[in-house]
Amino acid sequence: MIEALQQIGFQDVRACHFFNSFAGTTKEGVARKYGVQGANFIAYKAA
């Protein structure tokens, strides 16, 4: 994801927070089994 954002012109791209996006759902176990997680990114793009 970071590389994709850089390729479209974003700079200083980084993941700043990871979380269990399936917590409390019926698919929480599947997400844990396959290592699925959510992430928030921060990036800058010159206007």
Summarised one tens digit per residue, pLDDT across range 33-46 is 999 999 999 999 98
Summarised one tens digit per residue, pLDDT across range 2-26 is 999 999 999 999 999 999 999 999 9
Indicate yes or no: pTM above 0.85.
no
Q: Do residues 22 and 31 make contact, with C-beta atoms less than 8 angstroms apart?
A: yes
- pLDDT at residue number 9: 94
Q: Do residues 5 and 41 make contact, with C-beta atoms less than 8 angstroms apart?
A: yes
Q: Do residues 20 and 10 make contact, with C-beta atoms less than 8 angstroms apart?
A: no
At 32, the pLDDT band (50, 70, 90 cuts) reads very high
